[in-house]
Structure 1
C-alpha cells in the first residue's frame, strides 16, 4: 500500500509542538507557489478545521523560589546591526509598495497564533522548511530556489543570535505565511518575492525593541507588527495611500520612539542617504559620458 504523504499541518504541529487534538483531521488543501488567486472557499457547513488559538503568551517558568521569571531581554544592538547590515532602503521600499490586505486583517491573524509559536524553544528551521515547501512547491526554477535559500539564510541568522525574541518574531512571520491553510486566504494574496526582507524586519528590527508576545497581546503593538510586516513585504494596507500608511507607521514605530536606539537608526538612515546621493551622482556622470560619446 502506498505511503500517504504527511499533511502539511501535521508537519507544522511537529515542528512547534502542537498537541494532536489541535490538528485538522484531514490533509490541508494544497497551495500554489505563486498564490496568484485565493483558494475557493469551503462550504459553510464544513468550515476549515482550525487549530485553537491558545493563550498568546506562554506561561513563564517558575524559578526555584516559585516566582515566574520574565524571558531574558534580547541584545537589541546586535539584532539591529543584523538588520542594518542588509542596507534596506525604506525610501525605495515605499515607492515599490503595492496594495495588500488591511493591517486589521493581518492583526487578526496574529491574534489567532497558537501559543506554541511563541515558545522560547520553537524550532524555526523545520517550521520554515515545511512552509517554504508549500510556498514554492517542488519547483527547481532559479528564482523560486533562490528565494527559498534567502529565507533560510535569514532563519540561520536568527538561530545564530541565540535571541529568544528574534526566534519568536521569526516564528510569528512564518505563522502569517502558513495561516492561510487554517483560516483561509487573505483578501489580497501576499507577494512572495520579499519573504526574506519581511522575516528579517520583524525578527531583527521589530523584535529588538518590542517582545513578540506583545505583538499578540497589545493592540497598538499588534497594529505596528502588522504594518511592519505589510510594508517590508512590499504592500500598502488596504484602503490607505502611501502618505497615510507612512504617517501611521511612523506614529507606531517603536524603534523611532526608543531613546536608546533612535540614534543608531538615525545613523543608519544617514548612511543610506549618502549612498543614494552617490548613486545618483554616478548615474548622472554615466549619462553625461554616454551623451558625449
Structure 2
C-alpha cells in the first residue's frame, strides 16, 4: 500500500501507479470479452446516479456489501473487492472514491431501474472497480462522466471492457477502436508516458521470466 501524509490525497500519478501495479493485461481482457448490454444503456445509468452514492462519507465496503455481498462471503473474488475498496479509501482521493461508487451504482441500478440485456457481469468486479477508480478517475474527474456525453461514453465502455463484456452490436475490433479514440489516459501526455514505461518494464520482466522458465525446463529434460 502506498504511504501518504495524514489528511492528504494521492495524486493522479499515484492513483495510476496503483492501477499499473495490478498488472492487468488489456489484450487478454479484450480476447476474453463476451456480449454485453449497449453502451448507451450503461451510460444512461451513469447519468442517473443518485447523489447519495457520490457522498464521500459513504463507506465503500459497506456499499459493496449491499450491492455485491462482497463483505459477507469468503470467496477469493469477494476478498479482492473488499481489499480493492479499502485501498481506494486509503488513497484519500475523492475522485477515486466516486469512481468506485459509480461502478457500484451501475450494478445496483439493475435492481432499482431494471435489468439490462444481457445482464451486467460481476465476475470481475474488483478489476472493474479498479479500472474506474484508479485508471479513469486519475485522468478525468467522475463529475465529468455524469455531465459530459463523451466522457460518459468512455466511462461506460471502460466499465464494460473490464467487466469482460462487449457493447451490444459491436465486435471486438470496433469496440476497441471506439474506446481507444476516447481514452483520456492516452490523450494525457505525461500520464500516458508513465503508463507506457511501466508496460515496457512489465514486458521485459515477463520476457526474462519466460526465458528463465525455458532454461529451467531444458535443464530438467537433460537431467
Q: TM-score range by the shorter chain?
A: 0.7 to 0.9
Do 1:107 and 1:223's aligned partners in 2 also have CA atoms closer than 8 Å?
yes
Residue of structure 2 in register with 1:259 after alignment: 189
Over 3 Å counting, the alpha-carbon distance change for 1:112 and 1:162 in structure 2 is same
Residue of structure 1 in register with 2:105 after alignment: 175
In 2, the alpha carbon distance for the partners of 1:132 and 1:92 equals 25
Residue of structure 1 in register with 2:3 after alignment: none
State whether structure 2 residue 25 is matched by structure 1 residue 89.
Answer: yes
In 2, the alpha carbon distance for the partners of 1:282 and 1:246 equals 33
| Structure with greater helix share of residues | 2
Moved over 6 A (4+): 289-293
In 2, the alpha carbon distance for the partners of 1:99 and 1:204 equals 25
Q: Which sections of structure 1, spanning at least 5 residues, go unmatched?
A: 1-71
Deviation track 1:240-280 (CA, whole Å, cap 9, x = no partner) reads 11111111111111011012211111112212322443455
- Where 1:254 maps in the other structure, the secondary structure is coil
Do 1:89 and 1:272's aligned partners in 2 also have CA atoms closer than 8 Å?
no
Do 2:84 and 2:130's aligned partners in 1 also have CA atoms closer than 8 Å?
yes
Over 3 Å counting, the alpha-carbon distance change for 1:98 and 1:272 in structure 2 is farther
**TM-score normalized by structure 1?**
0.67
In 2, the alpha carbon distance for the partners of 1:203 and 1:83 equals 9
Per chain length, whose mean CA-contact separation is higher, i.e. which structure has more relative contact order (CA < 8 Å, sep 6+)? 2
Matches within 5 A, 1:24-173: 75-133=11-69, 145-173=75-103
In 2, the alpha carbon distance for the partners of 1:110 and 1:261 equals 25
State whether structure 2 residue 123 is matched by structure 1 residue 187.
Answer: no
State whether structure 2 residue 162 is matched by structure 1 residue 232.
Answer: yes
Do 1:165 and 1:207's aligned partners in 2 also have CA atoms closer than 8 Å?
yes
In 1, the alpha carbon distance for the partners of 2:177 and 2:154 equals 12
Q: How many residues align?
A: 216
Residue of structure 2 in register with 1:221 after alignment: 151
What is the CA distance between 1:204 and its match in structure 2? 0.5
Residue of structure 2 in register with 1:273 after alignment: 203
- Where 1:191 maps in the other structure, the secondary structure is coil
- Where 2:119 maps in the other structure, the secondary structure is coil
Over 3 Å counting, the alpha-carbon distance change for 1:243 and 1:283 in structure 2 is farther
Do 1:74 and 1:165's aligned partners in 2 also have CA atoms closer than 8 Å?
no
Q: Which sections of structure 2, spanning at least 5 residues, go unmatched?
A: 1-7
In 2, the alpha carbon distance for the partners of 1:199 and 1:165 equals 13
What is the CA distance between 1:198 and its match in structure 2? 0.3
Deviates more, 1:172-181 or 1:118-127: 118-127
**Bigger Rg, which one:** 1
In 2, the alpha carbon distance for the partners of 1:109 and 1:261 equals 28
Residue of structure 2 in register with 1:15 after alignment: none
**TM-score normalized by structure 2?**
0.87
State whether structure 2 residue 182 is matched by structure 1 residue 246.
Answer: no
